[in-house]
Structure 1
Amino acid sequence: MLTKKQLDLLEFIHKRVQRDGVPPSFDEMKEALDLRSKSGIHRLITALEERGFIRRLAHRARAIEIVKLPDAMGGDAQAFTPRVIEGGAVERPHRARPVESVDAMELPVMGRIAAGVPIEAIEQVSHHVAVPGAMLSGSGQHYALEVRGDSMIEAGINDGDVVVIRETSTADNGDIVVALVQDQEATLKRFYRRNGMIELVAANPDYETRVLPDHMVRVQGRLVGLIRTY
């Protein structure tokens, strides 16, 4: 039996993982549940872990996987599968296409993306990676990028992980996007549009928010999934 706060937190984490492919940060959890400090979130996370609803991944900042859902959320341990997967790369020609395993696609890994100081824009295809078809949400093309840097660690995105991106030129406030700055530098950040300016926000307090004029930033895609590397 879960308390209301525990259930609220589990539902919030579940919705964010389903939407973004990564769990929310502790600050986002604290704000969503209207708590005054992160210590309350730590207690709720520990309680959910002890009851077997979530699992925290070792050596990964803010990395949480949902193991099962309670009946109140219409889930069961057999039916529920987290969208965060472990990865393995396979050399293939360039194009997303079905593979022999059930409901899976191979996506081209289009070089590296900076989760830190922006680096040179997306490079050529280096290899392919297989991802579940359910991760490829919405219409449009999908591709993968290897993450370099630690500015998104509180969103569960770590150096060396592979992110799955759906191509789009638009984004809502709070989305994690591939942003192209001045048509030269690509970076992975949370996106906010305010008063004609674009804010690219890191999920690491060591990095400052970048505030740029609207015309200097172009959205190249939105994060829909994450493949963790170990």
Structure 2
Amino acid sequence: MKTIVATGALAAALAGWALPAQAQTPSLLDPVLHGQLERWLGAGELQLDNIYTRQTGHFATDFHAAADGKGDTFTLMQVSDDQGGSWLVGGYNPVSWSTTDGWHIAASQWERTAFIFNYTDPQVLRPVPVTHSLPSQGAKLTYNWPDHGPTFGQGPDLFVSEDLSSTLSWQLTYGDPALQGRSLIDGTYGGQLRRIDALEVYSVAVIPEPHTWAMLAGGLGVVGWAARRRKAQGAARS
């Protein structure tokens, strides 16, 4: 089983890519994509707040300074090749990013809620299930280290270089094990480097349903009434 490690020859190759400036507007996230992310996640209506937008001169440490410890997130990337191809890809991370954790491992099926996606050529790749002949293949969901941007899977299935300028995709942890080595980005094999033209990270919060708000308000009302009653009883006894 092949595993690409983003060091050595790969690091040298990545060093030759120039980082393009990212425009402030428009955002990669529009209402249509927002709705699609809600459907893919399946947790209901979401509030997505931009917590990081790559700027010229940024490195992985800038991403981590903004995104670490912020809970679950969506990463969005506009990616292109030298032939004019362009794709919007990304991933959902259910656990906070970190610079010290290394691999975030999900040994159980219920923990494997992360996924990566291609919005341009629609597809979603979820972790290889524990029922696979090699259950551990889908366990390494994200890699968390100072010299990596947001990186998903052991392939790496979706990797971001230290200078946030380049990505590659080599399917291993996510998707169909029969397609091991295939790129989420453009379907090629062999871990082809692609240019990152824009990169954004969004925090994820589920918006409660109206009846949930009503129950919460009712509960707070009962608590407030009980507190006032205790206060009145205490005043009467004194």
Q: Normalising TM by the smaller chain, what interval?
A: under 0.3
Structure in which a larger fraction of residues adopt helix: 2
Give the TM-score normalised by the residue count of structure 1: 0.25
Structure in which a larger fraction of residues adopt strand: 1
Give the TM-score normalised by the residue count of structure 2: 0.25
